[in-house]
Amino acid sequence: MTSTPPVADRVSPAGLGFALAAYGIWGFLPLAFVFLAPAGAVEVVSWRIVFGVVFCAILLTVTRGWSRFLSLARDARAFGLLSLAAVLILVNWGVFIYATLAGHVVEGALGYFINPIFTVLLGVVVLRERLRPLQWIAVGVSVVAVIVLVVGYGSFPWIALTLAFSFGMYGFVKRAVGPRADAISGMTVETAVLSPFAVAALVIVQVTSGLVIGTQAPWHTAIMLSLGALTATPLILFAAAARRLPLVYMGLIQYVAPVLQFILGVWLLREDMPPERWLGFGLVWVALILLTIDMFLRKPSVGALARHGS
């Protein structure tokens, strides 16, 4: 007779579906931004925020979550942390969209490959955690990878490192908020905080170069109008998955998005991949394999799972 695995160790089919859907959307998101040309990064990010607020308001109404949102908005500490998170995700969105529109999807994918390694370093610097041997090796290999990319490719991978830093810090701040903020209410606060700046940016774009929205084909406008849903939906799916899957599986599935972005950049968008760039990426993948092995050997506890959030 086999014993029933603890809840934290069970693999929920629904959880797997939610996680794959979330990271799948994030993985294919560069295609939406590519199709939005000739709109610039500032306009795309601004509309993403404005339509995100509208979509979140609809979700709060449908789920009857306005009381949770208002309670969260009155929590000074939570509101302050979510405001900081909003700034970090704004940097992440802006750099990612710029990278996509400028033909640097592959370097954007590199940023999300590096993100787990940055998260490990964040634990050392901020939380004073001690690295295990495999983690030390993984960090060392990743440092060599960045050096190879800088020296061999001839440019500093600022897009990748900015994406890794901003998203890693965003996740750290969101974990500090904890269960006080559900996925919908938390994202509503973040987008609401950014919305005045987004509106101001749209006014400036209109006065200077003119807004692109509504001036192109109907499908172009439709994609622009869907940016709010494309922003909120994967975050909500991720939150649903995180409650149903062990941390080890969430750690593995997170690689789906950068793998898809890498495939899009190399094989669909035909971005350059000279040998030295392949070498740099290869070293990063070796580091991630080492982190994955360490993750399975560690076997996270139920307490660790409870602290994991979106």
How confident is the model over 43-72, as pLDDT tens digits? 999 999 999 999 999 999 999 999 999 999
Nearest to 169 by CA among 130, 236, 111, 227: 111
How far, in Å, CA of 104 to CA of 97, rounded?
Answer: 10
Place of tokens 């929920």: 12
Going residue by residue through the chain (310 aa), what tens digit of pLDDT does each one get?
444 444 445 667 888 898 899 999 999 999 999 999 899 999 999 999 999 999 999 999 999 999 999 999 999 999 999 999 999 999 999 999 999 999 999 999 999 998 888 888 887 777 777 888 888 888 889 889 888 888 876 778 899 999 999 988 988 888 888 878 888 898 899 999 999 999 999 999 999 999 999 999 999 999 999 999 998 888 778 877 877 777 667 777 888 999 999 999 999 998 988 888 899 999 999 998 988 888 777 754 433 333 333 3
Place of tokens 């701040």: 173
Ramachandran region, residue 285 (left: φ > 0; alpha: ψ -120 to 50; beta: rest): alpha
